[in-house]
Amino acid sequence: MKLRIGIVGASGYSGAELLRILLNHPSVEVTKVFANTSAGKRVDEVHPYFLQKCNLQFEKYSPGSAAGLDIVFIALPSGEAPSIISSLLSVVGKVIDLGGDFRLHDMQEYQRYYKRDHTAAEFVSQAVYGLPELYRSAIQSARFVTNPGCYPTGAILGLAPALIEYIIVDHGIVISSLSGVSGAGRSASIDNLFTEMNENVRAYKVVVHQHTPEIRQTLSHIFGHHVSLTFVPHLIPTNRGIYSSIYAPLKAVISTADVIGIYKKFYANAPFIRIIEKDPPEIKNVLGTNYCDIGFTIDKENNMLVILSVIDNLMKGAAGQAVQNMNLMAGLPETMGLV
């Protein structure tokens, strides 16, 4: 019997990507799609890609309309999930939230970076951080998963093995990430117009981006000590993809071959991590996939490890990773519907 799935916020980029993946997933059936601003419209009216592929109609969300579903994805902008999480968990089996509201443990940091008070803080401790390569066993037994942010996914996966194996120091780390414009969501914004972004690269929220504490919190947790880092995000004139260049001071001299060996061993059971040994990884090679490609260079003169991490922000950075988490939560093969 197939799992009954609902998507709250199905009209956005991440919601539509979720629907695209799940319509081809052999073990689920999407039975409800919610989008308040598009309620009453067919999915293919809002996203013509789904013409003759999906006959569902967007509904306004209410707990009663979601009751009885096995798994519900929340693909709403950050700040909206807290208002529905209590009622949703009371009527459905499991929940996966793609927003940022339940990722941070420190409510003062949440207020500082998200510019609002948390209205459902009591649920933060119930949410399992959904990065399968680090928290697979916890995800498998979870009822509520908070999906990682797109920038944190690439940065954390790039840095985790080096920190855990003590080949880099825990301070002076710099992460410079380039993202396609879809990472900003589907809402209209003058800054994201074609004429503003074409032939342009723009840094934004320099050192104050809301993903900064998420990266720091997760790396500090897995390392066991506070990790100090600087994070600078940029928008680039592409639709999707994130390229993270990470600069980390090495503890001692090490060869590139040894670094590759450490990463291959660490990710030996991670089906969506690909270690790139020769040329630097490229965005084009991960588009439309759930892979994270990781490459390395050592700056011998400055004793720095340069880590290059590449993902598709709508897949491994959002919808693909959410489905990976769903598979684990439901006891299905981790890669089902994603390869």
The residues assigned a catalytic role are 150
Coil vs helix vs strand at 102: coil
Provide the token pair at 220: 């500090």
Q: Find residue 3's DSSP bridge partners.
A: 28
Length of the chain (residues): 339
* CA of residue 188 relative to chain centroid, distance: 22
Contact 142, 123 (CB under 8 A): no
Q: Is the dihedral of CA 16, 18, 24, 27 positive or negative?
A: negative
- CA-CA distance, 195 to 105, in Å (whole number)? 39
Q: Find residue 8's DSSP bridge partners.
A: 34, 74
Contact 292, 310 (CB under 8 A): yes
Contact 148, 214 (CB under 8 A): yes
Contact 273, 193 (CB under 8 A): no
Q: How many CB atoms lie within 10 A of CB 251?
A: 15
- CA-CA distance, 317 to 69, in Å (whole number)? 25
Helix ranges (DSSP H) in the chain: 13-22, 43-46, 63-66, 85-89, 107-114, 132-140, 150-164, 194-197, 212-223, 256-266, 319-329
